[in-house]
Chains A and B, each alone.
Chain A
């Protein structure tokens, strides 16, 4: 099967700045994929190249087998992009914008039913005739998602889609996106909310300074950080013998790194021997943030 996205040796330079340094990446059809990295890692640059908003210095990009530059019309038809910024056209209402967007891709009135379905699914029905500039930030974000979907693209790129969106809206949005993924759409997501990537995505690429530093399934990435964390609130001082395990200390609580669960018993025994009472205790699994911190920071 043709990959949804195929990126080969992509370099992008802005003058002296080498923003992307030979990126190779393949994303299969139907994947829910996350592209993570700190600000300036090159995520948005890579998305701009995929969308044809920018041109690579060298290398090759394909969307559903179509070259982004040589076969730009087919490649763009296969891609829907939700931009990071809350941009909108102040002259039109939500329904008009969605219909125009579908029209730009060559769809006529026969597509109007799909536009109405998007409006309904994104909870925009009562705002369909509201001018874009009168919408709240969250509603504008939904309209942006709607615009990216208006031409029924098989591949959808969401660049920080939940930035500034409240929890309720976020849930509705993810429900809709998850449904699209279940229907076969490939979803590529960049986000600063790592728990979203961990929950939703099956595979993750982590970028740092224009390079991919980790590319694996979410579970394999989580397995990269061995052991667990033990959060303790103690009545006394942490015994010196446990100090080498200390990873974090905040608000009177200490977080210790455990190589494995068996270590828990010896820690508690040490605390008992030192006559330090445990006021509260919590065992924490490693999460994507730990992986992210280890690989990217």
Chain B
């Protein structure tokens, strides 16, 4: 029984390794490109707004921007990893190689989730390492940074699995990315504090889970944020838990995977 159990987990471990290798093989596209994009955002926005906008007392705009950009890229890439792998495998038909195996639905979920988290963290770390060459960035609460990075990438990795299972065409996946992920990440306070918004839009921002991820992550750097990091952690962990349950149920039922 123990042998069978370890065999099952070895299957999930292999799937995780395959998913890691899959994005690493094209790391120019999956890691270098998002780092480059974030650095370009940083250059343009810091050039235009540094010295004109101060969001938190004593924190320059470029410094304020960096955690938001790191988190935005981390979230987008965690989503992209699981969603693109699944939709490609479905469209090309090679998902059958995994569906024929004894890997459990939990093993399947954990393998895709872990690979998505790692890609998100690698991209985030890449941006951080480039950014600190130019800007002196404080690290007030590293554990908060780590907690939000892990939970955020986990949440978006899970969301990517849902999107990958649901979508049957690249077109549908593009709609998910352009009409859900992009607006939610751009309107989450990456480039501004929500306190600078009119009261109505501040309220609307509180409905956006990306806001909590970015605000909590930023708190880890500066020790200050728009809301308490505990509230943010609760919202993000709650969303992660809820989406994980939905994903596991989808995988268990074979929704859109097993006819």
Q: Which residues of A contact B (CB under 8 A)?
A: 14, 48, 51-55, 72-74, 76-77, 79, 81, 83, 85, 87-92, 97, 100-101, 103-108, 147
Q: Determine the residue in chain A with the shortest Cβ distance to B257.
A: A53
Taking a contact as CB atoms under 8 Å apart, the answer to whether A88 and B101 are in contact is no
Taking a contact as CB atoms under 8 Å apart, the answer to whether A73 and B8 are in contact is yes
Query: Which residues of the partner chain B approach A74 to less than 8 Å between Cβ atoms?
Result: 102
Query: Which residues of the partner chain A approach B92 to less than 8 Å between Cβ atoms?
Result: 87-90
Q: Does B178 touch A at the CB level, under 8 Å?
A: no
| C-alpha gap A87/B21 in the complex (Å) | 19
Q: What's the A-B contact tally at a CB cutoff of 8 Å?
A: 83
Known A-B contacts A55-B254, A55-B259; the reply to A105 vs B101 at CB < 8 A is: yes
Taking a contact as CB atoms under 8 Å apart, the answer to whether B100 and A81 are in contact is yes
Mind listing 22 A-B residue pairs with CB under 8 Å? A52-B99, A53-B96, A53-B258, A54-B258, A73-B102, A73-B104, A76-B100, A81-B100, A83-B96, A85-B93, A87-B92, A87-B93, A87-B96, A88-B92, A100-B17, A101-B101, A103-B11, A103-B13, A104-B98, A106-B102, A107-B10, A147-B97
CB distance from B185 to the nearest CB of A (A): 27
- Main secondary structure on chain B at its contact with chain A? helix
- Chain B interface size band reads 20 to 34
Q: Kindly identify, within residues 1 to 59 of chain B, every residue whose CB is under 8 Å from any CB belonging to chain A.
A: 4, 6-8, 10-11, 13-15, 17-18, 21-22, 25-26
Q: Which of A48, A53, A106 has the most CB of B within 10 A?
A: A106
CB distance from B210 to the nearest CB of A (A): 30
CB distance from B99 to the nearest CB of A (A): 6
Known A-B contacts A76-B100, A81-B100, A106-B102; the reply to A48 vs B259 at CB < 8 A is: yes
Taking a contact as CB atoms under 8 Å apart, the answer to whether B102 and A77 are in contact is yes
Can you list the 7 inter-chain pairs with the closest CB atoms, starting with the nearest? A106-B7, A103-B14, A73-B102, A87-B93, A104-B101, A54-B259, A106-B10
Taking a contact as CB atoms under 8 Å apart, the answer to whether B97 and A89 are in contact is yes
Taking a contact as CB atoms under 8 Å apart, the answer to whether B10 and A108 are in contact is yes
Q: Kindly identify, within residues 211 to 259 of chain B, every residue whose CB is under 8 Å from any CB belonging to chain A.
A: 254, 258-259
| C-alpha gap A55/B257 in the complex (Å) | 11
CB distance from B84 to the nearest CB of A (A): 12
Query: Which residues of the partner chain B approach A79 to less than 8 Å between Cβ atoms?
Result: 100
Q: Does B103 touch A at the CB level, under 8 Å?
A: yes
Q: Does B202 touch A at the CB level, under 8 Å?
A: no
Query: Which residues of the partner chain B approach A100 to less than 8 Å between Cβ atoms?
Result: 14, 17-18, 97
Q: Determine the residue in chain B with the shortest Cβ distance to A104.
A: B101
Query: Which residues of the partner chain A approach B97 to less than 8 Å between Cβ atoms?
Result: 87, 89, 97, 100-101, 104, 147
The residue from A73, A89, A104 contacting B14, defined by CB atoms under 8 A apart: A104
Query: Which residues of the partner chain B approach A89 to less than 8 Å between Cβ atoms?
Result: 89, 92, 94, 97
Taking a contact as CB atoms under 8 Å apart, the answer to whether B258 and A105 are in contact is no
Taking a contact as CB atoms under 8 Å apart, the answer to whether A55 and B258 are in contact is yes
